[in-house]
Chain A
Amino acid sequence: MRRTAIRPAIPERSDDPRVEVTLTVNGQAVRRTVSVRMLLSDFLRHELGLTGTHVGCEHGVCGCCTVHIDGKAGRSCLTFAVQANGCHIRTIEDVADDDGALHPIQQAFKECHALQCGFCTPGMVMNILSRFEEREPLDLSEDGIRDMLSGNLCRCTGYINIIAAVRRAAELLGRA
């Protein structure tokens, strides 16, 4: 094809096999018919309009797409929407109260200036929240927090303020 050639219109509907998925997202029952290859991250963003879940690397390295799948942090870019059939999904949109009051982890991020551009923040918060909810002992040493954050990349802060925010969140949540 010549480089200047204008391509034909993209078809309205794809020929992908489609499958019905039924799941609970942030406490709300959801049913959609989607392509079998749709990633959960794209499902949340494009089918449900929940764009708080960010997509960075799409191969599980950056952690921006982290959501809770049946109560545990997981990469939504490494999960097909159809795999989440019947699951309970929780995203960053569900973390603050309905009246806008921040969750203690979000409050700690705000107080400690733990974000600059904010792209990584939803994944960071969902990962940290999962660890706080896991009820395993938390290692709040510098090394322990760095290990906790090691699956989430931040290209702005240099992590120092995020580490401080985890400590502050532990204080606010009575886990320090």
Chain B
Amino acid sequence: MKPPLFAYRAPKTLDEAIKFLASDADAMVLAGGQSLVPAMNFRVASPSMLVDIQHVEGLKGIAVEGGTIVIKAMTRHRELELDPHVRRANPLIAEIMAHVAHVPIRNRGTVVGSLCHADPSAEMPLLFVLLDGTLTAAGPGGTRHIPAAEFFQSFLTTARQQDEIVVEARLPVLPERAGWAFDEVTRRHGDYALVGVGCVLELDDSGRARNVQLAACGISDRPVRLKAAEAALNGTSLATANLDAAALASADAVTQTDDMNTSMSYRRRVLGALIRRLVAIAAQRAGGGSRQ
């Protein structure tokens, strides 16, 4: 229960940090440490070098610029959750954040760190896949932008190269009239989700759904956009039959086989139930009246 030995580096600049990462194939970035340090305490992870980026200039803070929320690499979950500008710009974020572990963990853990950890049951990767967020990675060859849909490749595996640091992540502001909802089913409060679902949608003047976005975590080796369910809902009046059709269409998205937590068939049932429930909640909130 004590971590294995590593070399510790605490660079002040991004260039230095990237050089340290590039110098050692087993080096890892240390940000909040809320996933990495437990893994090290269990000796599941044993990086030869930790590059602590907390002192690197320019990696702190949140900005709401135009239609985009910019989240720097060292931004803690709790900072994003409580930021008043973010609450107004995208109320889905605070709703999801209440499900991320517990407040003392959210005080330390970083949003970008959770994205880079890429647990397929975690909420932050789902949020970015749901809202088509982007990540900005800086490496020896320069900076590149990676859409969330391409970033998450498999269980704990992302498009980030070993010598790259994700310096910021961007989420869109929710359209003024969009409705939103998130919920998840867990064994215990604060645990990783068995299944979690997020939904964003708009209603046109005749009350028909448009721009429906649905995503789930816990059902595959990565967070998944539920395209078939979205297609089943777009243009409909979200009647019970439409919700049932969306739930049915989502079944194939569950590829996580039976594991120690639950079975594949239970995950499919939970996924369908959450889609029905959350689409209805998002539809109620659509129209702009629910925003604070």
A binds B: yes
Contact yes or no, A60 B105, CB < 8 A: yes
Contact yes or no, A80 B2, CB < 8 A: no
Q: How far, in angstroms, from A136 to B78 measured CA to CA in the complex?
A: 12
Per a CB cutoff under 8 Å, which of B54, B104, B189 touches A74? B104
The distance from the CB of A9 to the nearest CB of chain B, in whole angstroms, is 20
Q: Which of B86-127 contact A (CB under 8 A)?
A: 98, 101-105, 107-108
B190 beta carbon closer than 8 Å to chain A: yes
Per a CB cutoff under 8 Å, which of A16, A66, A79, A83 touches B5? A16
The distance from the CB of A154 to the nearest CB of chain B, in whole angstroms, is 14
**Count of inter-chain pairs, beta carbons less than 8 A:** 94
B side interface size, CB within 8 A: 30
Contact yes or no, A66 B4, CB < 8 A: no
B52 beta carbon closer than 8 Å to chain A: yes
Q: How far, in angstroms, from A127 to B106 measured CA to CA in the complex?
A: 12
Q: Residue among B8, B54, B104, B108 with the most chain A CB within 10 A?
A: B104
Contact yes or no, A127 B1, CB < 8 A: no
Per a CB cutoff under 8 Å, which of B10, B37, B54, B103 touches A78? B37
Q: How far, in angstroms, from A148 to B8 measured CA to CA in the complex?
A: 34
Per a CB cutoff under 8 Å, which of A16, A37, A151 touches B103? A151
Instruction: Encode contact with B along A114-157: 1 for CB under 8 Å, 0 otherwise.
Output: 00000000000001001100001000000000111011000000
B33 beta carbon closer than 8 Å to chain A: yes
Further contacts, 15 of them, CB under 8 A, given A36-B5, A75-B34, A151-B190 = A19-B8, A36-B7, A37-B2, A39-B37, A42-B2, A72-B108, A75-B104, A78-B37, A78-B38, A79-B37, A80-B30, A82-B8, A127-B104, A130-B107, A151-B105
Jot down 28 A-B pairs with beta carbons below 8 A, ordered by A.
A16-B5, A17-B8, A36-B8, A37-B3, A58-B41, A59-B1, A59-B38, A72-B78, A73-B104, A74-B104, A75-B34, A75-B104, A78-B34, A78-B108, A80-B8, A80-B30, A82-B8, A83-B30, A83-B52, A83-B54, A136-B82, A147-B98, A148-B103, A150-B102, A150-B189, A150-B190, A151-B102, A151-B105
